[in-house]
Structure 1
Amino acid sequence: MVLHGCTLFPHGGMPLRIFEPRYRQMLSETLEGSCFFAVGRLHAAEETDDPAECTSPIGTIGLVRASREMDDGTSNLLLHGVIRVRFVEWDLESPYPKARIRPIAQVFEPESQSASALESLHEAAEEAVGHFAGEVQDAFRSMAQSIDDPAILADVMCQQFVHDPDVRYELLSMDSVAARIAWLCSELNK
């Protein structure tokens, strides 16, 4: 699925309303199969017949966690991000955007600095949630403390705290987890 200004991070959630006939077909095939589909970001003003011309090269595979078909044939669903992917080749014969993909593994290196990276992310998270109600702060702290991988925590925080569509995509497509963490901590500590 390709959408304007839309970036899903691994370990993040995205509610979607499926209403276009082509995406209804995609969802039907997805639910009959693996329950996974990719979300890509349209970077052009309009979609063209060749998705490679208008879709950013990096996206995210998502798992359909919940789907409810409405009386009018549309569906509301919750997509859970799983892993970054690179769109390698587009199927121009498909009725909806369909691509061959390559997974992009994200590993924080050097591993010896993982604890320090996690600590920095926790401090930045405290800044980000400091103005929310106590219950929200406690819930986020509890969730963040349960994550022991800095790459995962950074993605969760990007999904929750970064709202500019261009910055979100830039963070999604960064090769370096350490660079993503440095940017995120710097911005959230401002």
Structure 2
Amino acid sequence: MISKTDLPDTIPVFPLPGALLLPRSRLPLHLFEPRYLAMLDDVLKTSNRLIGMVQPHEGPGGSRLHRIGCAGKVTAFSETDDGRYMITLAGASRFRIMEEVEGFTPYRRCNVVWDGFENDLGPVETDPDFDRQGFMEALGRYLTDAGLSTDWESLGEADDELLINSLSMLCPFDPEDKQALLEAPSLTTRRETLMTLIEFALRGGSGEEVMQ
């Protein structure tokens, strides 16, 4: 368990389009670029073992970073025969980037603040107004249209947070949509955003009003 005192002022960041990490969730990653292998080597020497996942976006001057990301703790790693690594990040807390740090590391680092995301370090969130049956019906149509399959038994047994966060991470939404899911201030807001994205996809991405 990560506490607020474990959160550093500077963290390495891994800009990966479409890869979403949320608090209390787990994200498997495959590292093979030399700069990220160097990052992992340095991270494993720290007491917190935190890596910041953040969405990049193209802008003037090249690849920029969204201001809000989520830090995860390296909880498992294994090396392949050809020198690559499979790691697992456990989502700890979201952060806000203040500035990028200039330095000699081959990977990017940022000065960050954790204020405003205190609930990320707390207990599992609930969504008291969650219409699970209606949500699952829409999800089924979305997965069928997208040609995707899932383990319905596991989804049915998952608590609200695990269900909503797992689908937010796994569904193939655009990076900007993933960012909206990340920045949702509560589990209820994230579920509402997720449902909007599913309904939008079911309409074929049209701009028509959602039928209630």
TM-score range, shorter chain: 0.7 to 0.9
- Alignment size in residue pairs: 173
Please tell me whether residue 155 in structure 1 is matched to residue 168 in structure 2: no
Structure holding more helix per residue = 1
Partner of residue 44, structure 1: 58
Please tell me whether residue 139 in structure 1 is matched to residue 149 in structure 2: no
Displacement of 1:36: 1.7
**Aligned runs of 1:1-190 on 2, under 5 Å?**
1-33=14-46, 34-44=48-58, 54-95=64-105, 96-103=107-114, 104-105=116-117, 114-116=127-129, 119-121=130-132, 123-129=134-140, 136-144=151-159, 147=160, 154-161=164-171, 163-175=173-185, 177-188=187-198
CA distance in 2 between counterparts of 1:183 and 1:83 reads: 20
Displacement of 1:129: 4.7
Could you list the per-position Cα deviations for residues 13-68 of structure 1 after superposition, in whole angstroms to 9, with x for gaps in the alignment?
322221222211210121222222111111027995xxxx6111111101223211
CA distance in 1 between counterparts of 2:192 and 2:68 reads: 21
Q: Percent identity?
A: 23
Could you list the per-position Cα deviations for residues 64-114 of structure 1 after superposition, in whole angstroms to 9, with x for gaps in the alignment?
23211223322111223222111122211141211122224275xxxxx94
8 Å CA contact 1:121–1:153 kept in 2: the answer is no
Structure 1 residues not aligned, in runs of 5+? 108-112
CA distance in 2 between counterparts of 1:101 and 1:47 reads: 22
Report the CA distance shift for 1:115/1:97 in structure 2 as closer, same or farther (over 3 A): same
CA distance in 1 between counterparts of 2:171 and 2:163 reads: 12
CA distance in 2 between counterparts of 1:169 and 1:54 reads: 14
Report the CA distance shift for 1:126/1:79 in structure 2 as closer, same or farther (over 3 A): farther
Letter in 1 for 2:83: G
Letter in 1 for 2:135: A
8 Å CA contact 1:125–1:157 kept in 2: the answer is no
Letter in 1 for 2:111: R
* Counterpart secondary structure, 2:73: strand
* Counterpart secondary structure, 1:65: strand
Structure 2 residues not aligned, in runs of 5+? 1-13, 120-125, 203-212
TM-score between the two structures when normalised by the length of structure 1? 0.72
The Cα RMSD (Å) is 3.1
